[in-house]
Structure 1
Amino acid sequence: MFSTKSQLQRRTPDNGTDREQFLSLLVDEYLNSTSYDAKSQVLANLANFAYDPINYGYIRDVGVLDVFLHVINTENDEKLLHFACSGICNLSCDPLNVKYIQENCGWKPIIQLLNRNNTDIVANIITTLIYAYEKPEGKILDAESLLKIKDFEKSEDKKVANLAAIFLQDVSGLN
């Protein structure tokens, strides 16, 4: 459910932790934890916070997007990649986040995740590209990546096939 600032304030006790501070604590926990389970859980929580646009500014301010990009650039674990891709997907509706990704990571490591066998990761990446492609930072795919997405139209996973078809339809409408 999307929130407003007044709804957040009503739900936060007088002595409670505000949203920005809580997100900052989660980022610190992710960065300082040596436990795989803790990192997984924190990354999942951060991806869930990325669902609500009210959090976008906080997420940029405290480095959540940086954590997602770091995971995509350095991790090979499917679960961590899935949570990071989910978070980036949730954030890519916002042009400021798309611009931030472009300026701080580029699209190459994100697009390379289309080569994963995990259909949830692939679906998140295609959805991210659907959101990002129309932004000024769009036109981010090379011909090989477009062909890969075209191949996904034939995927047995209907979610991936449908997302690929939507993306390709959107791209053809832009050219």
Structure 2
Amino acid sequence: MFSNKAQLQKRTPENGTNRESFLSLLVDEFLHSTSYDGKCQVLANLANFAYDPINYQYIRDVGVLDIFLHVLKNETSHQLLHFAAAGICNLSCDPLNAEYIITQSGLTPLIKLLKLNHNDILADTITTLFYLHNSQTKSEITTAEIIQKIHEIQKSSDKRLANLATIYLQDVCSSEETI
């Protein structure tokens, strides 16, 4: 459920931690944790916070987007990649977040995720690329290699993936590119 500032204040105890402080604590915990399971849990929590637009400014302010991008660029664990891709997907529908992802070289690691055999990561990646599609990014996200991969995904037995791939080909790619 989406929140507003009044609802957040009402739900926060008088001496409770505010949203920005809590997110900052999660960022610190992720950065300093030596436990793989701990990193996964924190990253999953951060991805969940990315679901609500009320958190977008806080997420930008405390560096959550940077953590998601760092994971996409540097990790190989499918679990960590899944949570980072979900967080990026949740955030990418916001124009400020989308611009940040693009300017921080986020397209390349996202495109690499299309090679993985993980349905949730693929769904989040296709959705994110759809959100990041604009005149500036079109040439990067409609290459022959990407279109070929999207055609393969379109044949998936997972209807969610097949439908996302179909929409991507229809809405992002020109008819000449999809042949």
Q: What's the TM-score once normalised by structure 1's chain length?
A: 0.94
Hey, what does 1:54 align to over in structure 2? 54
For residue 138 of structure 1, report the CA deviation from its aligned partner. Answer: 3.4
Distance 1:37 1:143 in 2: 38
Fraction of identical pairs, as percent: 63
Hey, what does 1:167 align to over in structure 2? 168
For residue 104 of structure 1, report the CA deviation from its aligned partner. Answer: 1.0
Q: Is the 8 A contact 1:29 1:42 kept in 2?
A: yes
1:134-173 map, 5 Å: 135=134, 137-139=136-138, 140-141=140-141, 142-172=143-173
Which 5+ residue runs of structure 1 have no aligned equivalent? none
Q: Where has structure 1 moved over 6 Å in runs of 4 or more?
A: none
Distance 2:30 2:52 in 1: 20
Q: What's the TM-score once normalised by structure 2's chain length?
A: 0.92
The CA deviation string for residues 120-175 of structure 1, in whole angstroms up to 9 with x for no partner, is: 10111001112221x45431312211221122111122111111011111124799
Distance 1:138 1:54 in 2: 27
Q: Is the 8 A contact 1:71 1:84 kept in 2?
A: yes
Hey, what does 1:72 align to over in structure 2? 72
Q: Is the 8 A contact 2:69 2:106 kept in 1?
A: no
1:4-83 map, 5 Å: 4-83=4-83
The CA deviation string for residues 8-44 of structure 1, in whole angstroms up to 9 with x for no partner, is: 0111111110000100000000000001111010000
Hey, what does 1:123 align to over in structure 2? 123
Query: Which segment is superposed worse, 34-43 or 99-108?
Result: 99-108
User: Measured at CA, do residues 103 and 80 of structure 1 come closer, stay the same or move farther in structure 2, by a change above 3 Å?
Assistant: same
Q: What's the Cα RMSD here?
A: 1.5
Distance 1:35 1:173 in 2: 45
| SS of residue in 2 equivalent to 1:115 | coil
Aligned partner letter, 1:46: L
Aligned partner letter, 1:104: Q
User: Measured at CA, do residues 74 and 57 of structure 1 come closer, stay the same or move farther in structure 2, by a change above 3 Å?
Assistant: same
Distance 2:121 2:106 in 1: 18
